[in-house]
Structure formats: C-alpha cells, structure tokens
C-alpha cells in the first residue's frame, strides 16, 4: 500500500511508507510530490525513504548509499572532473502551508522555495543524465534548517568526506535560477560597557553604562559598508546592531549594558580580518565574538564553473547570505548556488515559486552536465 500524491501514509504494519516519485517526468510535478511529503527537520524518514527508493528503481546507473536520513548517489565513469550537487530535504516547521497548491504558473507551499524545487531538479538530473560530461555526485541531506552539528553535511564531512570531493559544487538552494557565487561571511560580536551603579536620585555618584553606547551607535549609523567586486560578483557588506539590553531597575543608574552587532563580510576577508576590522570600528569598547562563519570565494575562474555560467547565460551574482556553499569553498572547491525560487521568500508562510524557474534550472543543468 503506497501513499498517493506524495503524501506519506502508514502501512497496516504501522511502518511509515513512502510516496512513489516519478523522476524523469516533469520536474514541476516532482516538486509538488516532494512538497507533499512533510519533512520538518529531524522528521525526514519518509522523504529519505521515498528518495532512496526512487533512485534505486529509476537511476540504476548510479551507486546509491543511504546515510542516516541522507541519500547519496554518484557515477564513477573516470571523467576528468566531478561536479557535486547538493540539496537538503528538510524544511522549517509547517505553518498552515501544506499541501502544495498550484495557481496558474505559481506553485505555493512549504518547501517550494527552500528547497524542494532544487531537490526535484537534482532528482530529475540523477535519473536522466546517464552519460554525463563530468562525473556526478548527488547529496540529498537532512537537518540543514537546524543547528550546524545536526546538519547532514556535517556528519558527512566527519564520516564520509570522500563524498564531498569534486571540482565544482552546485548547491541547489533558491537563487532565482541565476548562478550565485560564493557567499559572505557572518560574524556576531557582543560589545559590553561597564559603569558604576548608583541611585538615580544621586546619579552623579554613578556612571551610566547605557549612555556609554552613544558613540558605538553613532559609529554604526555613520558606517559606510564596503562593496567589493570579486570574479565579477559584487558583494555588499553590512554592520547592524541586532540586539541590545541593559538596566537594573527603574531607579538605578545601570552599571552594565550590552550591544550585539552582526557583520556580513565579503569573502575576500577571513574571519580573523573581519574581527580585526570590528575591533578597529569599536575601538574603546570591550568586544567578544559570539558567532562566526567564514565566507566563500566565488571561484568562478575554475573551468567547470565557467561552463555552468555559460550554460546559464547572463552574469553570475554575489550570494549575500550564508549557505552550505561555504563548506565546499572551505575545501578548496569552487561552489555556487543555483536553484529555483526567490531566496527572500524562504522561511515565510507565503513561500511560492514560479514553475518556469524549476524548468529553467533543469534545462540549464542538463545542458551543462549532459
């Protein structure tokens, strides 16, 4: 007994069973089928089962490995180069936006953008490109939307790093069907001020730690973010206060306060350089790094990357947010985002994708790889 229309069902033996997915057909319909298998992070059993089964049944030319709730597939044809395609199977929590719904040329629903459209394109390629120009590796993975340590790619890096190796990585996260290259780094720092507590009726006996942020906020207001061109991509940095707190009681001069600042930095800077820059900007303030993720250089001069850009036509653009592209870049591989959907709709209740973008991504990648 199989679930229909991609909704998973429970067999009479109480075991989750899976939807059947038709891989070589229309990638738009395949997207809808994937969307209709709920797969919130840590609950990817059903979708992983469906993906594994479909690949085993419909892509017999591939070596297929199940790795937890990740599904890995590859060719080993002795081609001179290898392209790795990666897509996560999980979504953020359901928000009254399932099942998928088609309105004309737009498909609505959780995951239509982030990123079952990309997964559908990958599955379509896996089944249809049987004689690729590059050797191919497909990675469908779990737990991308939660913490870094749970991410299927983190586990893969630790336990099966050979599956990540290649000459170009294409992460099929939404990019409006345009090649987005590299990604910016991200650093959060916490500034802390220290004063001296006093009763507000005798404020001159104290030193106000909140007032002490006047200058830091002025520097933030006056900050001119750097813009950088790398490999023809333009990166626009940013420096933003994201949280602030402080205070003791309504009648007390506060003796401590804090300000958390987020910095997006272009990939020509290392985290250490970004930290040094922030220490200069906030000279005189106590500063601690709370969180950091390195950026990724676009690496578009690599031959395989050039081929993809040619196939996609048009100019690549800079990736502004942080994606798993950075993992591949950290391994020395050129890595790009290329997938259907507007990334600014990711994680919103109103996720929706123009179906034309799904088809375009499948066509561009077929031309590039086939």
One of 44, 49, 119, 144 is an active-site residue; which one?
144
How far is 248 from 260, CA to CA, in rounded Å? 19
Reading the block at residue 79, the tokens are 């081609």
Structure tokens at 193: 């001020």
Q: Of 312-341, which residues contact a second copy (CB under 8 A)?
A: 320-322
Q: Which one of the spans 132-140, 153-161, 166-174, 241-249 is the region binding a second copy (CB under 8 A)?
A: 241-249
**Identified binder of a second copy from the candidate list 246, 295, 334, 354, rule CB under 8 A:** 246
Confirm whether 114 is a catalytic residue.
no
Query: Residue 194, interface with a second copy (CB under 8 A)?
Result: no
Segment near a second copy (CB under 8 A); pick from 21-29, 38-46, 140-148, 240-248: 240-248
What does the alpha-carbon distance between residue 42 and residue 150 come to, in Å, rounded to a whole number?
9
Give yes or no for a contact between 111 and 47, defined as CB atoms under 8 angstroms apart: no
Report the distance separating Cα 56 and Cα 231, nearest Å: 39
Q: What part of residues 173-192 is at the interface with a second copy (CB under 8 A)?
A: 184, 186, 188
Catalytic residue among 36, 44, 49, 90, which? 90
- State how far the Cα of 342 lies from the Cα of 357, in Å rounded to an integer: 10
| Closest CB 199 distance from a second copy, rounded Å | 7
Residue 288 within binding range of a second copy, rule CB under 8 A: no
Q: Are 17 and 7 in contact (CB under 8 A)?
A: no
Of 115-123, 220-228, 329-337, 352-360, the segment contacting a second copy by CB under 8 A is 220-228
Of the ranges 61-69, 93-101, 107-115, 207-215, which one interacts with a second copy (CB under 8 A)?
Answer: 207-215
State the nearest-atom distance from the C-beta of 113 to a second copy, in Å: 14
- Pick the stretch among 8-16, 71-79, 250-258, 352-360 that binds a second copy (CB under 8 A): 250-258
Helix (H, G, I), strand (E, B) or coil at 33: helix
Q: Is 144 a catalytic residue?
A: yes
User: 211 with 264: CB under 8 angstroms?
Assistant: no
Number of residues that bind a second copy (CB under 8 A): 49
Minimal CA–CA distance to 247: which of 197, 285, 190? 197
Q: Distance between CA atoms of 316 and 193, rounded to whole angstroms? A: 43
Q: Of residues 12, 103, 149, 201, which one binds a second copy by CB under 8 A?
A: 201
Cα angle 133-162-301, degrees, rounded to a multiple of 5: 50
Selected from 42, 61, 196, 218, the binder of a second copy by CB under 8 A is 218
- What is the H or E stretch that residue 136 is in? strand 135-141
If residue 330 lies in a helix (H) or strand (E), which one and from where to where?
A: helix 325-330
* Smallest gap from residue 338 Cβ to a second copy (A): 18
Structure tokens at 153: 């790619």
Angle (CA) 30-31-33 rounded to 5° is 65
Of positions 15, 147, 149, 251, contacts a second copy by CB under 8 A: 251
- Under the binding rule (CB under 8 A), the answer on residue 262 touching a second copy is yes
Options 221, 224, 283, 314; binder of a second copy; rule CB under 8 A: 221
List C-alpha distances in Å: 76 to 17, 73, 294, 368: 31, 10, 32, 18
Question: What is the nearest approach in angstroms of a second copy to the Cβ of residue 129?
Answer: 32
Which position among 60, 93, 161, 247 is part of the footprint of a second copy (CB under 8 A)?
A: 247
Q: What are the residue numbers of the active site?
A: 90, 144
- Applying CB under 8 A, the residues found at the interface with a second copy are 184, 186, 188, 199-204, 206, 208, 210-211, 213-214, 217-218, 220-221, 225, 236, 238-254, 257, 259-260, 262, 264, 290-291, 320-322, 344
């Amino acid at each position: 007994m199989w679930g229909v229309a991609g909704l998973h069902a429970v067999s009479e033996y109480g075991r989750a069973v899976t939807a059947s997915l038709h891989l070589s057909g229309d990638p738009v319909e395949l997207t809808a089928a994937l969307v209709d298998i709920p797969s919130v992070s840590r609950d990817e059993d059903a979708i992983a089962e469906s993906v594994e089964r479909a690949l085993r049944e419909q892509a017999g030319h591939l070596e297929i490995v199940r790795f937890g709730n990740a599904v890995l597939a590859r060719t080993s044809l002795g081609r001179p180069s290898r392209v790795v395609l990666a897509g996560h199977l999980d979504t953020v929590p359901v928000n009254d936006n399932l099942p998928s719904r088609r309105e004309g040329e737009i498909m609505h629903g959780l995951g239509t953008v982030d990123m079952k459209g990309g997964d559908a394109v990958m599955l379509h390629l896996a089944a249809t490109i049987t004689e690729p120009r590059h050797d191919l590796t497909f990675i469908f993975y779990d737990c991308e939307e939660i913490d870094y340590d749970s991410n299927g790619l983190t586990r893969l890096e630790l336990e099966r790093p050979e599956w990540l190796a290649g000459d170009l990585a294409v992460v099929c996260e939404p990019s409006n069907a345009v090649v987005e290259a590299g990604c910016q780094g991200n650093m959060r720092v916490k500034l802390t001020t220290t004063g001296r507590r006093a009763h507000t009726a005798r404020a001159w006996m104290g030193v106000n730690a909140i007032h002490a942020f006047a200058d830091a906020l002025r520097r933030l207001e006056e900050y001119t973010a750097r813009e950088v061109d790398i490999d023809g991509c333009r990166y626009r940095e940013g420096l933003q206060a994201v949280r602030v707190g402080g205070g003791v009681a309504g009648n007390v001069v506060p003796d401590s306060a804090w300000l958390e600042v987020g910095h997006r930095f272009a990939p020509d800077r290392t985290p250490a350089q970004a930290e040094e820059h922030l220490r200069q900007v906030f000279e005189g303030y106590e500063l601690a790094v709370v969180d950091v993720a390195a950026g990724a250089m676009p690496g578009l001069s690599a031959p395989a990357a050039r081929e993809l850009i040619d196939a996609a036509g048009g100019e690549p653009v800079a990736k502004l947010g942080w994606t798993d592209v950075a993992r591949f870049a950290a391994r020395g591989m050129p890595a790009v985002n290329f997938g259907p959907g507007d990334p600014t709709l990711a994680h919103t209740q109103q996720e929706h994708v123009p179906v034309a973008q799904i088809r375009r991504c499948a066509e561009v990648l077929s031309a590039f790889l086939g």
